[in-house]
Amino acid sequence: MSLKRKELEVLKLIYAGKTIDEILFKIDICERNLRYIIDNLNFYLDKILSKRIEKERKILRVDLTEKELNKFYKEVYKKYYILESEERAEFILMSFLFIKSMNLKLLEEKLNVTRSTLKKDIEVLNQNLSGYNLKLSSKRNKYTIFGNEKKLRHLKAIKFLEYINLSMSPLNKDYFFQNIDKELLNILRKIVLQIEKRFLLNFKDDFIKLMEIFLYVSIERIQQGYIIDRKANYNFLVNTVYYEVVKDHLKEYLDKNLTYEIAHLTEYFISGGIAENIEELKEKIEEYLQGLLVASEKEFNVSFSDGELYKKLVHYLTPAIYRLRNNFTIKEQGEKDEIFVFVEKYSKNENNLPENLTENEIFHIAKEIKVHIQNEKNRVISLKVILSIIEKNTKKLDRKKLVKDLLAEYGDLIKKDETDIH
């Protein structure tokens, strides 16, 4: 006998006080199967804790403290639990991410499965990895994870964060993290805090933890010979003071010639300076733009109701790293006309944005508003004017004169698809 994920999910629902009908619905099983699951759970509850699940009308009850429940899970995971295919795929992933010299033979022994079952589990894993542009495959009879290096590092950091603080898991996290250099992690945390101080920023605790782990993962991958050698906004990044700060603090771990690697890390550190998370920031930008466009409509007697300009400006002001790509990569030039002055004045007096817009950003926003206003003037037909022209030709319809008057007023805005307009 053994226990699987479904049985433990049933126990969690019973412990939470769910009714039998709720359990049947959530687990998607029939009453007969539920009885089999209860019998199996009771066998192990009695064996480990001398406890049993009891039925009271439509409620199943188990008299357990949280401490007893945790003890039960730990004992089951250690001795009696059988991993399902998805869980084995996760075990394979964690093994290849964190265990040195991992191979299929070792996995067979650890998972107690045949080679054919293991290969099916690898297929399940690769379906999950495809979303990351990654794949576990063999090269020269050695299995490893291939694909986008940046996404591989992200995945490894995410998995590290996911498991490091777990008190219980069907997977043995101590096995995966047996080779982690805790001393290096502590050093990297101090480096993150030093960079925060040099940047004159305030990093959130979860960002500090993330960067500590991401630095660890990046250094490890670089030492294994996996180097990132391209970056879209590289030329900007290497010319910032931020780049020099990151390079200086990581000089013991990263060669100064690994400029693309340092540029990547610089961008991540800059992102930590955002006071809000991206969603909160996006909401504030949207509020700012809504107010600006309403004020502009009144000021310049124009309509932005189609939403096109709004979408453009939201997209402009909300890149993944807010300050980074606006201030330094887009160079706007132009005359400080009335639209520029209006946007500048409005922006200084509003309080949604976390910091003031730069002159460069104001130029860009003013330019987009100006272009939109011009386009509106070119394509909007005044109902008042067109009715006036028609009324003048209504008493005695002179078709040629009506066409002539309309063309005189609207010119190229009217498609000339009549044969007798002249």
Q: What is the pLDDT of residues 298-333, one digit of tens each?
A: 888 888 876 788 888 877 776 533 443 343 333 445
Q: Helix (H, G, I), strand (E, B), or coil: what is residue 136? A: strand
CB burial string 239-261: b at 16+ within 10 A, e below: ebebbebbbebbeebbeeebbbb
Q: What angle do CA 212, 214, 220 make, to 5 degrees?
A: 105
- In whole angstroms, what is the distance from residue 267 CA to residue 261 CA? 10
Output the CA angle 364-369-348, nearest 5 degrees. Answer: 65
**Locus of tokens 């265990």:** 99
358's tokens: 């730069």
3-state secondary structure of 108: helix
Distances (CA, A) of 44 to 41, 122, 308, 340: 5, 31, 63, 74
Torsion of the alpha carbons at 155, 156, 162 and 163, rounded to the nearest 10: 150
Report d(CA 420, CA 134) in Å as an integer: 65
Those residues whose C-beta lies under 8 Å from the C-beta of residue 326, and which sit 6 or more positions away, are: 316, 317, 319, 358, 360, 361, 364
Whole-angstrom Cα distance, residue 93 to residue 97?
6
- Of the CA atoms within 13 Å of residue 61, those in its CB half-sphere come to 7
* Triad 369, 302, 336: Cα angle to 5°: 35
C-alpha to C-alpha distance for 56 and 40, rounded to whole angstroms: 19
CA neighbor of 53 nearest in space, from 22, 2, 12: 12
| Token pair belonging to 58 | 């439509």
Helix (H) or strand (E) holding 73, with range, is helix 66-79
Model pTM above 0.95: no
As a whole number of angstroms, the distance between CA 107 and CA 94 comes to 11
Q: Could you tell me which of 236, 221, 254, 252 has the C-alpha nearest to residue 150?
A: 221
Can you tell me which residue has the tokens 């206003």?
373
Q: How far apart are the first and last CA of the chain?
A: 94
Identity (one letter) of the amino acid at 129? L
The number of helices, as runs of H, and strands, as runs of E, in the chain is 21, 4
**Contact by Cβ (8 Å): 266, 254:** no
Spell out, as residue ranges, where the chain has pLDDT lower than 70.
273-281, 306, 318-335, 354-355, 376-387, 393, 395, 397, 409-422
What is the reported pLDDT for 413? 59
Asked whether 317 and 326 are in contact (CB, 8 A), the reply is yes
**How many other CB atoms are found less than 10 A from the CB of residue 57?**
7
CA dist 185 and 176 (Å) reads 16
Q: What is the pLDDT of residue 302?
A: 80
Predicted pLDDT of residue 132: 83
Strand partners, 53: 62
Whether residue 262 contacts residue 247, with contact meaning beta carbons closer than 8 Å, is answered with: yes
* Distance (Å, whole) CA 31 – CA 20: 9
Which backbone phi and psi does 178 adopt, to 5 degrees?
Answer: -65, -25
